[in-house]
Structure 1
Amino acid sequence: MTADVRVASEPGIEPYADELANQLGRMQRVRERTMHQLGSRGPGGLDLAAFRCLFALIEQGPMRSGALAEAVLSDPSTVSRHVAQLVQLGHLERLADPEDGRASVIAVTQDGRRAAAEMRHRRNARFSQVIEHWSMEDRDALLRLLTQLIDDQERVRLVRAAECAKDAPDRTGSADTSLREQR
């Protein structure tokens, strides 16, 4: 990082945080552009966003739809749509929940594992091209620091979510009171 990069664009903003946010935004735009150029569909016409559900189930095992939505940090309706698509393609199946036979859990099929392996192979081939000229030390440093960044971002997200949840009843109550007072 050069000295001129460390100059924050706004007073009071930590310069490294500002540049990190700028670079992460840039990375997201490059990723979105790449996805647009490659198409938004994966193997078998699968919506690429659905692969997050597939990978989460492979990593964490069968789970209920609500737990899957939490695991992929998405809303239940979006996850429901992805699950329906994945079930239709034969990548997922619904099984009786071993803890409550009235409910179901979502599990990955062998076809789903094959589709995920193909997608992972394609993704890894693209990233291999990006880092092929990097030293092992740089690769290790990026992986270590990126893992640390994401872990810390998740930690802060959970703290902020807890704060919002704690404050939510007060806001709802205030809004209800305000509506009653207006009537």
Structure 2
Amino acid sequence: MPMTAPSRSSSRRRGTAPVDFDLTSLLGFVIFRLSSSLGGLAERDAQEVAGLTLPEYRCLVVLATRGDMGVTPLCQIMHIDKAWVSRTLAKLAQAGLVGSIPDPADARRTIFSVTPRGRQTGQALIARAMDRQARMLEGFDREEVERLLELLRRMQENADRAKGR
């Protein structure tokens, strides 16, 4: 079903939803469904490659691609709360994919990094992610992809402003 803008001409009483309202046509619903589908595919790949959950996969790949960092920067990059990231890092450390050292600038903090095994796993996960993305963008030309990403960035900026960030 094509996505349509909400109708302003619907005849309705104040405080009631339009009769022709379709939740599945709302942008938030469409994006949530797509995000859920993409996350499910990513988690399936993470399970097949390394037996990881989606948050474990994401933490590992961020560390593998952006370098050593503490919990706070990981939280900011991934938009996940500190307790969740800490538990995820503990699981990755237990699996031998991530190591940690005290932060030389502040011994109360810990710096996390991928181990050699974690780097190899991260590379395999990234290769799967690139293949998955290519499948999702099949039939789109380069300009369409660039335009789509630009529109999504702008939409995120609008959402951030609406949240008062």
Same fold (TM over 0.5): yes
Whole-angstrom CA distance in 1 between matches of 2:84 and 2:97: 17
Q: What does 1:98-137 correspond to in 2, within 5 Å?
A: 98-137=104-143
User: TM-score if structure 1 supplies the norm length?
Assistant: 0.65
Tell me if 1:65 matches 2:64. no
Q: CA shift at 1:132, angstroms?
A: 2.2
User: TM-score if structure 2 supplies the norm length?
Assistant: 0.71
Q: Which residue is equivalent to 1:6?
A: 5
Q: State, as a whole percentage, how many aligned pairs show the same letter.
A: 27
5+ residue gaps, structure 2, are: 11-16, 19-24
Tell me if 1:30 matches 2:37. yes
Q: CA shift at 1:125, angstroms?
A: 0.9
Whole-angstrom CA distance in 1 between matches of 2:66 and 2:155: 22
Q: Which residue is equivalent to 2:27?
A: 20
Whole-angstrom CA distance in 1 between matches of 2:74 and 2:40: 27
Whole-angstrom CA distance in 2 between matches of 1:139 and 1:84: 36
Maintained 8 Å contact 1:42/1:48: no
Q: Which residue is equivalent to 1:46?
A: 52
Letter paired with 1:124: M
More helix by share: 1
Q: Secondary structure at the residue paired with 1:115?
A: helix
RMSD: 3.1
Whole-angstrom CA distance in 2 between matches of 1:5 and 1:68: 37
Q: CA shift at 1:123, angstroms?
A: 1.8
Q: What does 1:168-179 correspond to in 2, within 5 Å?
A: none
Q: Secondary structure at the residue paired with 2:79?
A: coil
Higher relative contact order (CA 8 A, sep 6+): 2
Maintained 8 Å contact 2:45/2:125: no
Bigger radius of gyration among the two:
1
